[in-house]
Amino acid sequence: MCSRSMKSLLLLAMTGSAGIALAQAPSQAASAPVTQAQIAALQQAVQSAQSAGDNAWMLTSAALVLLMTGPGLALFYGGLVRRKNILGTMMQSFAMMGLVTILWAIVGYSLAFGHGNMFIGGFEHLFLRGVSLSPNPDYAATIPEQTYMIYQLMFAIITPALITGAFAERMKFSAMALFLSLWSLLVYCPMAHMVWGVGGLFNSAGNHIPSLDFAGGTVVHITSGVSALVCALYMGKRLGYPQTAMPPHSMVLSFIGACLLWVGWFGFNAGSALAASPLATSAFVNTHFATASAALGWTIFEWQHNGKPTALGAISGAVAGLVAITPASGFVQPFPALLIGLAAGFVCSFMVFKVKSIFGYDDSLDAFGVHGAGGTLGAILTGVFATCIINPVYGKGVPTGWVDGHWSQVLNQLAAVGMAWGISIVGTLILLFVVDKIIGLRLAPEHEAAGLDLSQHGEEGYDFETT
């Protein structure tokens, strides 16, 4: 019976003239025993098919994550600033697509994912040395390491780009380029290694403090959000803030950008399964559910607070949900994902409407209120709701989070959150101080009044005089 099943599989697996010849062979040949070579060929065909499917999904996911930066974030942030700053704001996101790519190829990937110590990788992959078209089983066994490398690059691009929302409309382009380039190497890469790198301090597969971060709650959102707050405090307020009203100049652009972020985030979260697998499906579903729930939560809070539900509030809530579910997306079930999203909608809107006004800091586009607060909330709730039913990261049947009975996972999450906050605060302060002393951070008052577009780039986003 087993022999007949194997022969049937071989018939299905073989194509072309070889398959036709086998199908037309005499009955005596059909009854011949299956050889080890044929079994090996079948296994190789199955493995090749799996690798092809996984690689196709991961390349698609990489493209989706790049879509999040440009045009997603560029449009989202660009619409939220005043008209005179749209090109300058969009250029900041675009600059990260270029600068971080080059730095990643030279040394960034090696610092994040090379073998080093528990805090940072080494230089084994300097200039992408040894990053081949074969899989690296340390990270993903079914896709080429170059695919894994380029996918992780897209995370490294968007993370510093998120920070630009805090100092929007008042940092020089040259200062932004230098500061965020250094930040990507000295803050992002160490945190990425600690959480995802082999031997990292918080790697869930390691022996130190295993924390859970499926797609970047600590690595991406806490680091960028907390660094954004530091930037806002260090640089001070925009000219005229808060006395002068500074409403978004185009909610249409921001709305389109937010929708692109929502779509691209499926590559961000579901792609972090690193395979076209049921786990990717789970992360995809959780991402969508949490986003919808957070948009509802923010809208309800704003409706009660301001008397009207706004488009800005709805899209801000959606982004908050995307942020909060990111670390949990591959560890929780759909209903907890709804709860995480709803909590993010309320908490992040409270941070924007209440906490920001109480302390009076000028986080221009609420990078901290959404990414810093949302990332922190999501990372902690991951430790609460993670379950081995979805992702047995510690072994089949071994409890994962608090709901499974592993309450100490919350402590591990808090440790990773604390490190993300610490490295972001200290690293950002040092880098801001150094760049400020070298070339200066802040636009001259007359340049800030004129806007980023004219003062930094000599052009305007809109020309209303040309017919």
Token readout for 363 is 């986080």
Neighbouring C-beta atoms of residue 402, cutoff 10 Å: 19
Fill in the amino acid letter for 330: G
Q: Cβ(197)–Cβ(204) under 8 Å?
A: no
Q: Cβ(291)–Cβ(320) under 8 Å?
A: no
Question: What's the pLDDT band for 32 if we cut at 50, 70, 90?
Answer: low
Domain ranges within the chain, ordered by starting residue:
2-34, 58-457
Nearest by Cα to 364 from 137, 80, 146: 80
pLDDT tens digits for 290-335? 999 999 999 999 999 899 999 999 999 999 999 999 999 999 999 9
Give the pLDDT mean for 7-24: 41
Query: What is the C-alpha to C-alpha distance for residues 248 and 169, in angstroms, rounded to an integer?
Result: 12
- Residue carrying the six token digits 């050889």: 35
Token readout for 248 is 């978004």
- Residue carrying the six token digits 């040894």: 130
Fill in the amino acid letter for 37: A
pLDDT tens digits for 96-117? 999 999 999 999 999 999 999 9
Token readout for 337 is 């994902």
Token readout for 447 is 């340049």
Question: What's the pLDDT band for 467 if we cut at 50, 70, 90?
Answer: low
Query: What is the C-alpha to C-alpha distance for residues 9 and 5, in angstroms, rounded to an integer?
Result: 6
- Write the CA distances from 100 to 58, 181, 189, 238, 332, integer angstroms: 20, 7, 11, 27, 32
Query: What is the C-alpha to C-alpha distance for residues 440 and 238, in angstroms, rounded to an integer?
Result: 16
Residue 86 pLDDT > 90: yes
Give the pLDDT mean for 45-73: 95
**Per-residue DSSP letter, 444:** P
Query: What is the C-alpha to C-alpha distance for residues 277 and 51, in angstroms, rounded to an integer?
Result: 12
Token readout for 443 is 């636009």
Residue 136's beta-bridge partner residues? 140
Residue 58 pLDDT > 80: yes
**Cα-Cα-Cα-Cα dihedral of 52, 56, 62, 64, to 10°?**
-160
Fill in the amino acid letter for 421: W
Q: Give the contacts of 366 (CB within 8 A, at least 6 positions apart).
A: 165, 316, 351, 352, 356
Q: Give the contacts of 436 (CB within 8 A, at least 6 positions apart).
A: 175
**Per-residue DSSP letter, 136:** B
pLDDT tens digits for 241-269? 999 999 999 999 999 999 999 999 999 99
Query: What is the C-alpha to C-alpha distance for residues 193 and 200, in angstroms, rounded to an integer?
Result: 6
pLDDT tens digits for 176-212? 999 999 999 999 999 999 999 999 999 999 889 999 9
- Phi, psi of 136, deg, nearest 5: -105, 105
Neighbouring C-alpha atoms within 13 Å toward the C-beta of 65: 29
pLDDT tens digits for 226-238? 999 999 999 999 9
Q: Does domain 58-457 have CATH number 1.10.260.40?
A: no
Nearest by Cα to 175 from 450, 448, 371: 448
**Burial of 74: CB neighbours in 10 Å, binned 0-12, 13-18, 19+:** buried
Residue 442's beta-bridge partner residues? 171
Nearest by Cα to 387 from 273, 288, 287, 279: 279
Q: Cβ(187)–Cβ(228) under 8 Å?
A: no
Question: What's the pLDDT band for 15 if we cut at 50, 70, 90?
Answer: very low
Token readout for 426 is 């200290």
pTM of the model: 0.91
Q: Give the contacts of 274 (CB within 8 A, at least 6 positions apart).
A: 54, 58, 139, 140, 142, 143, 148
Query: What is the C-alpha to C-alpha distance for residues 269 and 282, in angstroms, rounded to an integer?
Result: 10
Q: Cβ(93)–Cβ(69) under 8 Å?
A: yes
- Mean pLDDT, the chain, whole residue set: 93
Token readout for 194 is 């600690």
